[in-house]
A and B are shown apart, each in its own frame.
Chain A
Amino acid sequence: KAGVTQTPRYLIKTRGQQVTLSCSPISGHRSVSWYQQTPGQGLQFLFEYFSETQRNKGNFPGRFSGRQFSNSRSEMNVSTLELGDSALYLCASSLVPASDEQFFGPGTRLTVL
């Protein structure tokens, strides 16, 4: 069974640009969560989607948004990029929302110059 896949794996953008990251969950998993990982802050919860609906949201500005499609694939978008948005963005999937059994993808490393 294939794991969680995230594309692209690496991305370099400049300030002010926008970016879209993609996550394909494990087959059969309908819940997808996104996290931002930075050396100083650790993993910070961004949002969780289940059945195309956002169920929970972390404390991030409105520049961070996401969506989920009917096949459970999810995308997150960051607009007007800032230097501080440089981070590893991790996606995790689970069968049901708020599950302890969530499986993480390898992440997308975003660098903002």
Chain B
Amino acid sequence: GQQLNQSPQSMFIQEGEDVSMNCTSSSIFNTWLWYKQEPGEGPVLLIALYKAGELTSNGRLTAQFGITRKDSFLNISASIPSDVGIYFCAGRNFGNEKLTFGTGTRLTIIP
């Protein structure tokens, strides 16, 4: 099935560092979502974006809906140990109710 290209696949950072990840698609999307999944649990919605150029924050997390409508970005500022997990982007395009997910970015924080 269709997939979104998410990068990087994994990140190893130190506590306190900022994190950036992105998601790109060959198709235009009208909705971008960002999820976080922790071990043994299902994904949890972090941020939803609905308009090209939109910048939305949720605490230390900030996500942007790319102007081309083919990409989205997630930034985490001043990372803390509980940020560890897998971050997924997901998109939905016009006329298609199904969500397409990225392959995930695994975030590890080095003590």
CB distance from A44 to the nearest CB of B (A): 6
Interface bin, chain A: 20 to 34
Q: Which of B13-21, B38-46, B55-63, B69-77 contacts A (4 or more CB under 8 A)?
A: B38-46
A107 at the interface (CB under 8 A from B): yes
| Residue of B31, B40, B48 with most partner-chain A CB within 10 A | B40
A4 at the interface (CB under 8 A from B): yes
Pair B40/A42 contact, Cβ less than 8 Å: no
Pair A58/B98 contact, Cβ less than 8 Å: yes
Query: Given the complex of chains A and B, what is the CA–CA distance between A44 and B6 in angstroms?
Result: 15
- The residues in A between 35 and 81 inclusive whose CB is less than 8 angstroms from any CB of B are 35, 40-45, 48, 55-56, 58-59
| Residue of A41, A42, A91, A104 with most partner-chain B CB within 10 A | A42
Pair B42/A105 contact, Cβ less than 8 Å: yes
Pair B1/A45 contact, Cβ less than 8 Å: yes
Query: Given the complex of chains A and B, what is the CA–CA distance between A44 and B4 in angstroms?
Result: 11
